[in-house]
Structure formats: C-alpha cells, structure tokens
Amino acid sequence: MQLLRQTFYFLRHGETEWNRRGLIQGRVNMPLNGTGLAQARAARELLAGAGIATICTSPLDRARLTAEIIAAGLHVPVREIANLGECRFGTCEGQPKGPWYDAWRRGETPPGAEKFALFLERALEGLNEALAAPGPVLIVAHGGIYWAIERFAGIARRDRVPNGVPLFHAPPPKPLLPWRRQQLAGFAA
C-alpha cells in the first residue's frame, strides 16, 4: 500500500500544555492552550488563499478544534477520520520521551500501546481516506501521523513537526522520487 498521489496540506494540531511540557499525549484528549488557539487562527489566515476544499481531522479534541477554527474562516467542511487519531502509547502516555520511545519504534511495544508497524499501517489508511476527499485537502492531525507521511512519501525524517505550522506536499513527477514538502511562509519551524 502507498500514499495516494494527491497534492495536500498537513497541519499538526495547535499546542497543548503537554506539548509545551514535552509529555507524550497519545490518545489522552488534551485541549489546546492559548498558544495553540493562536496557532490555529494564524494558520487559518495563512491558508485563506490555498484553495482548500476539504479539511480532514483526527477525532481527538486538540486536532478537531484546530480544524474547526481553520474551517470557520475558509468555509469548508470538516470530515473526521478515526484512523487519523494519534498512536496509543499505553502506559507511557503522560511521560516524556525516554529509552522506551526508541525501543517502541524498534518493535518493543509498551503495555497498552499500539505496535509501531501497525500504527503506521492504520495511519496510511487514514491518510488515503483523507486524500480521496475533494481537494486540495488539509489534514489536521498529530506528529505520529506525520511519521506515516514521511515513511510512505519518501520524505527525510524530521525530529519533530512543529505545532500549528502548515506544510504543503506535492507528489513527485516520477514514482520513485521523494515527495516535495514546503513550509508555508510566515511560520518558523
């Protein structure tokens, strides 16, 4: 399975207190903080001329509210896609990244967590469901969902996708080349 070859935008939800404190959220339903609300409004202004036709979002509150703030200014529908939800990290939710995190990516799954490989497959299904919607599509989701984009679009791994920063993606002219990723002007990553 591979990522559908469609132009799209990706936005990691606005900041939460746990983001600010460096804690893993996973499926914990954390609200946006003041910075996160401001990031969503700024992203809405920046995306105003992008021609977004559909916004697809994770069902988690932090992504859903970010998407709704943007949609209110763009006057486009918001579609919730369950498979765009962040990874379940089980007993490690609420903890900082530590040795467990790299071990999880290598296949050692913490109690109650999703297996890394299965999470990437689920995320790819959610991304492809989003990319099948009328476009251009804006996907509002999580840092973990972006790992699937990097993996299946052949984009070099980043340490962390910043909160609230719109990223434009275009498929390559030839299938074996990596996708093009571009940060929209006005944001510093």
Backbone phi and psi for residue 61, each to the nearest 5 degrees, phi listed first: -55, -40
CB neighbourhood size of 5 (10 A): 12
Is 86 assigned a catalytic role? yes
Tens of pLDDT, residue by residue over 90-109, are 999 999 999 999 999 999 99
In CATH, what number does 8-183 get?
3.40.50.1240
What SS3 state is found at 102? helix
Tens of pLDDT, residue by residue over 3-48, are 999 999 999 999 999 999 999 999 999 999 999 999 999 999 999 9
Q: Structure pTM? A: 0.94
What SS3 state is found at 56? strand
pLDDT of residue 189: 42
Is 129 assigned a catalytic role? no
What whole-number distance in Å separates Cα of residue 40 and Cα of residue 35?
9
Q: pLDDT higher for 91 or 175? A: 91
What whole-number distance in Å separates Cα of residue 165 and Cα of residue 157?
17
Q: How does residue 73 score in pLDDT terms, banded at 50, 70 and 90?
A: very high
Of 15, 86, 93, 114, which one is the catalytic site residue?
Answer: 86
Please state, in angstroms and as integers, the Cα–Cα distance from residue 186 to each residue in 39, 74, 132, 149, 183, following that order: 11, 18, 29, 23, 9
Q: Residue ranges per domain, the chain?
A: 8-183
Q: What spatial distance separates the first Cα and last Cα of the chain, rounded to whole Å?
A: 30
Of 13, 15, 142, 169, which one is the catalytic site residue?
Answer: 13
What whole-number distance in Å separates Cα of residue 120 and Cα of residue 148?
5
